[in-house]
Amino acid sequence: MYFLGLDSSTQSLSSVLIDLRNGSIVDERSLNFDAAFPHYGTQNGVLPHSDPTVVHSSPLLWAEALDRLFQQMKADKLPLGEILAISGSGQQHGSVYMTDLAEKQFRDMDIHGSLTDNVARVLSRPTSPVWMDSSTSAECAAMREALGGRDAAVAATGSDLFERFTGPQIRKFASEEPGAYKQTGHIALVSSFMSSLLAGQISPIDPGDGGGMNLMDIQKLTWHPGALEACAPTLREKLPALAPSHHILGVVNPYLVFKYGLNAAAKAVVWSGDNPCALIGTGLVEPGMIAISLGTSDTLFGAMADCQTDPRGEGHVFGSPAGGYMSLICFKNGSLAREKVKDQYGYSWEDFSAALDRTQPGNEGALMLPWFDPEIVPRVLTPGVRRKNLDAAHADSNCRAVVEAQMMSMRLHSEWMGERPSCIYATGGASNNAQILQIMANVHNTPVYRQETANGAGLGAALRAAHAWTLAEKGQADWMELAAPFTKPESHSATQPDPEAAALYEQLLPAFAAFEAESLAQS
Other C-beta atoms closer than 10 Å to the C-beta of 351 total 14
pLDDT for the residue 432: 87
pLDDT digits (tens, 9 = 90+) for 23-82: 999 999 999 999 999 999 999 899 999 998 999 999 999 999 999 999 999 999 999 999
Q: What share of the chain is helix, strand, coil (3-state, %, to 5)?
A: 45, 20, 35
Q: How far apart are CA 249 and CA 93, in angstroms?
A: 22
The topology under which CATH files domain 283-452+490-523 is: Nucleotidyltransferase; domain 5 (3.30.420)
pLDDT band, residue 453 (cuts 50/70/90):
low
- 399 burial via Cβ count (<10 Å: 0-12, 13-18, 19+): buried
Any bridge partners for residue 450, and if so which? 426
Asked whether the predicted pLDDT for residue 454 surpasses 70, the reply is no
Which of the four pLDDT bands, split at 50, 70 and 90, describes residue 452?
confident
Give pLDDT tens digits for 329-369: 999 899 989 999 999 999 999 999 999 999 999 999 999 99
Architecture of the domain delimited by 2-277: 2-Layer Sandwich (3.30)
Residue 419's pLDDT is 79
Q: Return all residues near 258 (Cβ < 8 A) that are at least 6 apart.
A: 111
Q: Which helix (H) or strand (E) holds 241?
A: none
pTM, full prediction: 0.89
Which residues belong to CATH 3.30.420.40 in the chain?
2-277, 283-452+490-523
Each residue of 124-182: pLDDT tens digit? 999 999 998 999 999 999 999 999 999 999 999 999 999 999 999 999 999 999 999 99
348-356's contacts with Cβ under 8 Å and 24+ in sequence apart are: 349/433, 352/399, 353/433, 353/434, 353/435, 355/395, 355/396, 355/399, 355/400, 356/399, 356/400, 356/403, 356/435, 356/436, 356/439
